Every structure is written in structure tokens, then in C-alpha cells.
Amino acid sequence: GQNIEAIPVGDPATIFDHLEPNTTVVGIDEIQFFDPGIVTVIEQLASRGIRVIAAGLDMDFRGEPFGPMPQLLAVAEEVVKLHAICVVCGDLASRTQRLVNGKPAHYEDPIIMVGAQESYEARCRSCHRVPHLDAVAKS
């Protein structure tokens, strides 16, 4: 296989600082963590004829749209949705289960927890659990 050096960026606009004159492809991983400005950056890259391959989670641990993903999915020319295998039942998994001390994280927990001691599992819709989700949805 081929290896390409990854360059960490915080502000999406700094992606332009790392482009070579002959850049034809830009890959962006963990795109769900970028701010909404990433959508404009990707649109500008595509307008320059640069192919952008973005990877990230479309839903957070609550099963809700994650960060800029809804906008990115809307403007993408092609979307490939990959699935893992549910660790509980073996079906296709489309969701991410956050576990804290081995138990499902509560709905009220922060979306992003830096440095926390949580773990994640792939889950299907039926096996995905978010305590207090029903209570929040009804209020």
C-alpha cells in the first residue's frame, strides 16, 4: 500500500497552507470534530478541482447528527456509508455506543469528552442504548 503523511490541523482554513501546487486529492479524517467552517473549505477545494475524501461519524453517541456531517453529506457528490458489526447481536452497526465504566453513557453527557475514560462499541439501532433519551425526547 501507499502511505501519506497526515498533517494535524485545528482551524479548517489552515488546510490551504499545506497544499502543494499540484495537489489533486485531500483526505480528511475524523471530520465530525471540525467546526462548520470545514464545509466552506471543502467547497472551495472542490471548486479548484481538488478531490476531497472525508471520513467521519455521521451520528454522535446519542444517535444524533454529529457536527458538520449533515451539511457535508448534503453537498457531497458521492456518499459511501460504511457499517461495522454490532458487538451485541452481529447485525450491521450504524451507531456508536459510548460506555462509561462499562455502562451506556447518559444522554446529558457532553458530546465530546477530551481525556475521559470512556470506550466505544459498534451497535445496531436495536442494541444502541442511551439512558434518558426517551425522557428528553418527550419533554
Q: Do the Cβ atoms of 107 and 131 come closer than 8 Å?
A: yes
Q: Give the contacts of 31 (CB within 8 A, at least 6 positions apart).
A: 38, 54, 55, 56, 67, 68, 69, 72
The values of phi and psi at residue 134, to 5°, are: -65, -40
Closest CA to 27 of 37, 9, 11: 9
30 included as an active-site residue: yes
Q: Which of 20, 30, 78, 118 is catalytic?
A: 30
Catalytic residues: 30
